[in-house]
Amino acid sequence: MEIDLVKFSRESKSDFPANKKLREKLKKTKPKDLDAHFHEKHEEVFAAIDCLDCANCCKTTSPIFIQTDIDRLSKKFRMKSSAFIDEYLFRDSDGDYVLKFAPCPFLGADNKCLVYEDRPKACREYPHTDRKNILGILDLSLKNTLVCPAVLKIFYEIGKQYRK
């Protein structure tokens, strides 16, 4: 069933102040078991969400393209990497290559990635809630509560354990 992204956008904005407080609390208390809890909730939440009903990350944000991503995708499109960059990418304020367009030009109408096998590393790893050292990427995860319904739900679940 398609995820209601308008409702998600409203809820994620209204939950943001509380999620910000949760981030502050986690940064201050540095729970030792935080990775384990995030990974457990990541598994639970993604078992119940089908990304093909959503694709909000591909519709609204850009992954970072590292050189190996650019090389792989240029090869797929039989383009020179410089031509691929000219056509699709620009350098953001951090100097990283990101897409010129949103939604991503490689997103199909059925929410499937048209370059799935060759998609950027950042797309494979998004939304990073199963990574090691969750504490070190809490700022990014907090931002992702505004993009990804799964991350919002993970924050909600984590909050039950750590907000008290």
Positions that interact with ligand SF4 (CB under 6 A): 49, 51, 54-58, 63, 104, 106-107, 113, 115, 119-120, 123, 126-127, 147-150
CB of 164 to ligand SF4, least distance (A): 27
CB of 32 to ligand SF4, least distance (A): 27
56 with 3: CB under 8 angstroms?
yes
CA atoms within 13 A on the CB side of 93: 0
Which of 27, 124 has the CB closer to ligand SF4?
A: 124
Query: What's the burial of 131, exposed, middle or buried (CB within 10 Å: 0-12/13-18/19+)?
Result: middle
Which of 32, 109 has the CB closer to ligand SF4?
A: 109
Break the chain down into helix, strand, coil percent, rounded to 5: 60, 5, 35
Q: Using CA atoms, how far apart are residues 85 and 124, in angstroms rounded to an integer?
A: 20
CB of 17 to ligand SF4, least distance (A): 21
The amino acid occupying position 83 is A
CB of 108 to ligand SF4, least distance (A): 8
Which of 49, 66 has the CB closer to ligand SF4?
A: 49
Which of 35, 53 has the CB closer to ligand SF4?
A: 53
